[in-house]
Amino acid sequence: MSVPDPTFLAEPDAVADWRLVVLLDVATETGLLDALPGRPADLAERLGLDGRGVRILLDALGAWNVVVADGEGTYGPGPGAPDDAARPVLHHHARAVRQWAGGLEDRVRGQVPAEPRPAMPHPDRWQAALAVSARRAAPGVVDAVMAAAPGAASVVDLGGGHGEYALEFTRRGVKATLQDRPAIIEVAGASGRLAAAGVELVAGDFFETLPDGRFDVVFASGVTHTVPGERVGELFRRAASIVVPGGLLAVQTFLRGRHRTGAIFAVQMLANGGGGDTHAEDDYRRWLAEAGFAPPEVIDLDEGRRTVLLARARARD
């Protein structure tokens, strides 16, 4: 199965069938996909599941050729079965479907959903899902940053999570530091690939603490649209304290009114309940100016789906 973007990043006509997404997530979470091949009754007994439910689920997955049954009633993986790369993305899809279906109306009414956003029991899957689209986007995004700061020797990636952007910077010969919350840093460091590439990992909330020293580039991807506007201004002020004089602040985000993907992405931020939104370009210009940055260069990538704002730190008095 090809790997789609997480639901709220995909084009409106390019989202996987929500029924398939939920079926696959249930089959994964219950262990059914990993337990194949087998007959429904045997699988149910082995996994402690309901036999009728297992049979119905497998039959439905057969409609998409995720599983196939032989003449003896034994189900096995079919040509539509997700590979290891697709599974975390599909899990992310399913979580978004549940958020939109279970709480969006309450959010629009200004109420807290009776069943608030599902917990994130698998931060590793969440980061793996986000890494899929980031891996595709990173070369173009880093190209834009390096064109604006060709002599950059150091970068701090705030909220860098999976590390795909930090890794791309290191491939360009830039020393990269990645900061994120402790639970995310634990996931990011587990494989050892970031450390092997020379990426320094710093655990901590960047609204509370920042890495020591100053950097040629302060980079933030997928961060500013997750928080209310006043916090974006705060983040830019904090970024100004760790960028070298004349250094670059680079922000990748979705701008309100720029592309239809941004409008859909804002719905996910509403469903999350954290106050995030897709902010307007004029807002970014104001927040950057107030934090001591020059007017940004605004670059659209992926036909406008993604936007990178590049703002130079003004000389300090």
pLDDT tens profile 28-46:
999 999 999 999 999 999 9
Strands 306-312 and 243-253: antiparallel
**What does the pLDDT average to over 276-294?**
95
Tell whether the model's pLDDT for residue 157 goes beyond 80. yes
Three-class secondary structure of residue 73 per DSSP = coil
Which range of residues forms the domain containing residue 258? Answer: 123-312
How confident is residue 259, by pLDDT bands cut at 50, 70 and 90?
A: confident
- In this structure, is residue 248 part of a structural domain? yes
Tell whether the model's pLDDT for residue 118 goes beyond 60. no
Q: How far apart are CA 228 and CA 58, in angstroms?
A: 43
Residue 121: the pLDDT is 64
Total count of domains within the chain? 2
| 149 and 239 co-located in one domain | yes
| Whole-number percent of the chain with pLDDT over 90 | 66
pLDDT tens profile 221-249:
989 999 999 999 999 999 999 999 999 99
**What does the pLDDT average to over 104-121?**
75
Cα torsion at 11, 227, 277, 101 (round to 10°)? 70
The CATH number covering residue 86 comes to 1.10.10.10
pTM for the whole thing?
0.85
| 127 and 251 co-located in one domain | yes
| 178 and 211 co-located in one domain | yes
Examine the fold and report which residue of 119, 154, 185 is the final residue of a domain before the chain moves on: 119
Residue 170: the pLDDT is 97
**What does the pLDDT average to over 145-150?**
96
| 230 and 287 co-located in one domain | yes
Examine the fold and report which residue of 119, 140, 171 is the final residue of a domain before the chain moves on: 119
Q: How far apart are CA 278 and CA 267, in angstroms?
A: 9
Residue 22: the pLDDT is 92
Computed over every residue of the chain, the mean pLDDT equals 91
Strands 67-69 and 175-180: unpaired
- In this structure, is residue 66 part of a structural domain? yes
How far CA 87 is from CA of 5, 9, 231, in Å, comes to: 12, 17, 33
- In this structure, is residue 317 part of a structural domain? no
| 108 and 127 co-located in one domain | no
| 187 and 58 co-located in one domain | no
How far CA 220 is from CA of 54, 69, 90, 141, 278, in Å, comes to: 44, 48, 25, 11, 15
CA angle 153, 159, 160 (to 5 degrees): 55
How confident is residue 149, by pLDDT bands cut at 50, 70 and 90?
A: very high
Tell whether the model's pLDDT for residue 115 goes beyond 70. no
Q: Which of 73, 76, 72 minimizes the C-alpha distance to 32?
A: 76
| 89 and 106 co-located in one domain | yes
| 161 and 108 co-located in one domain | no
pLDDT tens profile 43-79:
999 999 999 999 999 999 999 999 999 999 999 999 9
Q: Which of 257, 228, 245, 242 minimizes the C-alpha distance to 294?
A: 245
**What does the pLDDT average to over 1-27?**
80
| 248 and 190 co-located in one domain | yes
| 209 and 79 co-located in one domain | no
Tell whether the model's pLDDT for residue 201 goes beyond 80. yes
| 133 and 51 co-located in one domain | no
| 277 and 154 co-located in one domain | yes
- In this structure, is residue 234 part of a structural domain? yes
pLDDT tens profile 93-112:
888 888 888 888 888 888 88
Cα torsion at 176, 142, 263, 296 (round to 10°)? 90
